[in-house]
Homo-oligomer: A and B are copies of this chain.
Amino acid sequence: MEKKGLLFVVSAPSGAGKTSLCRGVVEELPNVHYSVSYTTRPPRPDEVDGKDYCFVDEATFRERIDKNDFLEWAEVHGNLYGTSREALMSRTEKGVDVILDVDSQGAMTLKKKCADGVYVYILPPSFEALRQRLTDRRSDSEAEIARRLQKAREEIWNYRQYYYLIVNENYKDALRDLTAIVLAERIKAKRVNLSWLEETFIKQLNKGA
């Protein structure tokens, strides 16, 4: 099996539900791995180190930057976030697809480096819905929520940089859409391994089977 895994990069305004959707796809489909980001942001009460993020202090994060371990990293709302090159590559080299959620800065950096990746943007059904979700989460201060909403205002216009757009009106339909993207991308003709096709089919034709 020489086929390399695909990279799915999912971005969204904070609160649009990208993390739940990525995790949902991993539960739905075999052979997809959810890649956890590194961050210097303090964990929220319900977050688990290594599952939600790899939580590290700023010194450790900067060490990794110096070692060139991050495929992308960015400062968002005063915290550092990064995608480990090693964690990602070790999966795709084995033919496992990797899905990761990153902020829009990170997605655009990855897009320059990994042109063959699949870039997906999740939109909330309305701005009011976004505000509601951030408020309901009860994990961020009012100032933090205001910052996140302001960032949404700025980045939303960038949506045409992505290949797919999902409006997260309800989780079930949005998950069906994200799952469909993974399935459809896997069977794009340009990705199909000719040697596989020859082995399973074309050789038989030539033998006059």
Contact = CB atoms under 8 A, between A and B. Distances in A.
Contacts of A157: 202
A183 interface: yes
B205 A153 contact: yes
A206 B126 CA distance: 12
A127 interface: yes
Nearest to A152: B205
B204 A126 contact: yes
A156 B202 contact: yes
Interface residues of A, number: 40
Contacts of A183: 176-177, 180, 184
B189 A165 contact: yes
A209 B165 contact: no
A206 to B, nearest CB: 9
B180 A164 contact: no
Please report whether the interface of chain A is mostly helix, strand, loop or mixed according to DSSP. Answer: helix
Given A166-B187, A189-B121, A156 B200 contact: no
Interface string A179-209: 1110111011110100001001110110001
A21 to B, nearest CB: 13
A125 B162 CA distance: 34
A124 B202 CA distance: 11
A160 B189 contact: yes
Nearest to A173: B183
Interface of A: 121, 123-128, 131, 152-153, 156-157, 159-160, 162-167, 176-177, 179-181, 183-185, 187-190, 192, 197, 200-202, 204-205, 209
